[in-house]
């Protein structure tokens, strides 16, 4: 037995030594587990091992991944877009002009729109054929399409009108649109909201995206003013409640709302279309009554505020309200907190023309903090406004930074009622 065992052991030892020398067996460090090594060629890509996933129960909530924050927000891109606009394109955004005609844009106005990149258009009663069988809506839709064909800047237009209900309706509506005074007497905010949602929806369907309404003026005796039944009530709280309901309705219908006539036309029986009204109230007196509805509208998120051509010598002895930084910048924007678009009343009105030239008025309105200059169908006045603004920029009276402020506000408003993005 001993002689037999020894040769066997010797043979086994030789085999082990042979295998060790050939590199087939390598002793791992203590504690390691021997695993086969992958064969990697230079042409092969090394894959990162995928960790083993433990399946979760079906009802286990899966956390969502929060995207990394970015500074390239919509506001950022909008500012960059404005900086890239030409001076003429910026000036074009600062005006809202009218023209004559019900079927298409006149050749003269089309030329003016394209030459000056006019950014906004207003339709008055003369532009609407309300005697049509459909109340003028079909013809208006074709008219707004014609207007949009001449928008040379590539930025959508604000196309406005002033449907207030009552005597100021522009179209023949399929149902009764109550006057402001009637809405005020009923004190029914739901009815007011529903009426203006109906108005806003029908305007938007015909290409009108801005309604210059509601009237937020308040007067102790509305019938003694030239506005008459266009004033909601003699009670400031009623004007505030019904007026803000009208604003909400227009928003529901897809339209911007521009209230008027800041800081209030109710304390005078003068008509600013024919003369310059003078109101001797102090700012403290305005806060007690006239400004209450306007503040409510600002708080409700109104899109625009139209400033009247009214003289308040005890507040600003040098300028009418539409030319006054005290009213527009310090009061409306500063104290009242309004951040939207400030529009002038029509530059054709004698309340303005009796005080200052169109060229000077245009520049002063922008310097005072205004954004959009309104001027109906008088192309001579319109060209004076545009050339006055261009000259003021060229001479350094108006800086591009000041233009940019207004253009940003206007384009932001346009994005609310169009599908345009910078």
Which residues neighbour 33 within 8 Å (Cβ) at sequence distance 6 or greater?
none
Instruction: Give the active site residue among 162, 303, 316, 345.
Output: 345
What whole-number distance in Å separates Cα of residue 22 and Cα of residue 28?
16
Catalytic, 202? Answer no
What whole-number distance in Å separates Cα of residue 413 and Cα of residue 401?
19
Q: SS3 for 176? A: coil
Q: Which residues pair with 307 in a beta bridge?
A: 262, 344
What whole-number distance in Å separates Cα of residue 119 and Cα of residue 420?
14
- Write down how long the chain is: 422
Listed as own residue / partner, the contacts of 71-75 with beta carbons closer than 8 Å and 24 or more positions apart are 74/421, 74/422
Catalytic, 345? Answer yes
Listed as own residue / partner, the contacts of 185-193 with beta carbons closer than 8 Å and 24 or more positions apart are 185/233, 187/238, 187/241, 187/242, 189/241, 189/242, 189/244, 189/245, 190/245, 192/242, 192/245, 192/246, 192/249, 193/245, 193/246, 193/248, 193/249, 193/252
DSSP alpha helix (H) spans, 254-303: 283-288, 291-299
Strand 304-307: give its sheet, edge to edge. 341-344, 304-307, 256-262, 210-211, 158-161, 120-122, 95-97, 373-375
Listed as own residue / partner, the contacts of 149-152 with beta carbons closer than 8 Å and 24 or more positions apart are 149/105, 150/105, 150/110, 150/113, 150/114, 151/113, 151/119, 152/113, 152/114, 152/117
Closest to 253 measured CA to CA, from 307, 208, 318: 208
DSSP 215: B
Contact 342, 307 (CB under 8 A): yes
- Could you list the active site residues? 273, 345
């Amino acid at each position: 037995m001993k002689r037999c065992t020894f040769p066997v052991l010797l043979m086994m030892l030789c085999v082990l030594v042979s295998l060790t020398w050939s590199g087939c067996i390598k002793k791992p460090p203590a504690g390691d587990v021997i695993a086969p090594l992958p064969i990697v060629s230079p042409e092969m890509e090394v894959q990162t091992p995928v960790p083993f996933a433990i399946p979760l129960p079906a009802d286990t909530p899966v956390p969502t991944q929060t995207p990394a924050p970015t500074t390239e927000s919509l506001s950022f891109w909008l500012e960059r877009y404005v900086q890239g606009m030409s001076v003429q394109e910026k000036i074009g955004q600062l005006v809202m002009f009218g023209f004559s005609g019900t079927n298409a844009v006149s050749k003269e106005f089309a030329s003016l729109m394209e030459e000056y990149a006019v950014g906004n258009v207003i339709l008055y009663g003369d532009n609407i054929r309300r005697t049509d069988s459909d109340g003028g809506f079909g013809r208006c839709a074709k008219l707004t399409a014609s207007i949009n064909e001449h928008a040379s800047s590539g930025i959508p237009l604000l196309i406005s009108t002033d449907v207030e209900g009552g005597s100021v309706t522009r179209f023949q509506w399929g149902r009764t649109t109550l006057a402001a005074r009637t809405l005020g007497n009923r004190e029914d905010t739901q009815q007011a909201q529903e009426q203006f949602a109906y108005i806003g929806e029908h305007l938007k369907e015909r290409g009108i995206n801005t309604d210059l309404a509601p009237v937020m003026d308040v007067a102790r005796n509305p019938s003694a003013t030239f506005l008459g039944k266009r004033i909601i009530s003699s009670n400031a709280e009623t004007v505030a409640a019904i007026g803000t309901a009208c604003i909400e309705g227009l928003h529901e219908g897809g339209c911007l709302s521009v209230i008027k006539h800041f800081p209030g036309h109710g304390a005078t029986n003068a008509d600013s279309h024919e003369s310059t009204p003078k109101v001797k109230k102090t700012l403290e007196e305005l806060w007690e009554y006239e400004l209450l509805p306007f503040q409510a509208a600002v708080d409700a998120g109104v899109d625009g505020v139209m400033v009247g051509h009214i003289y308040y010598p005890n507040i600003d002895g040098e300028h009418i309200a539409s030319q006054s930084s005290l009213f527009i910048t310090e009061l409306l924007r500063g104290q009242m907190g309004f951040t939207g678009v400030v529009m002038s009343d029509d530059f054709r009105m004698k309340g303005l023309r009796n005080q200052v030239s169109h060229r000077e008025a245009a520049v002063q309105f922008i310097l005072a903090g205004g954004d959009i200059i309104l001027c109906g169908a008088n192309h001579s006045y319109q060209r004076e406004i545009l050339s006055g603004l261009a000259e003021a920029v060229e001479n350094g009276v108006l800086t591009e930074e000041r233009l940019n402020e207004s253009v940003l506000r206007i384009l932001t408003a346009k994005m609310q009622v169009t599908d345009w993005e910078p």
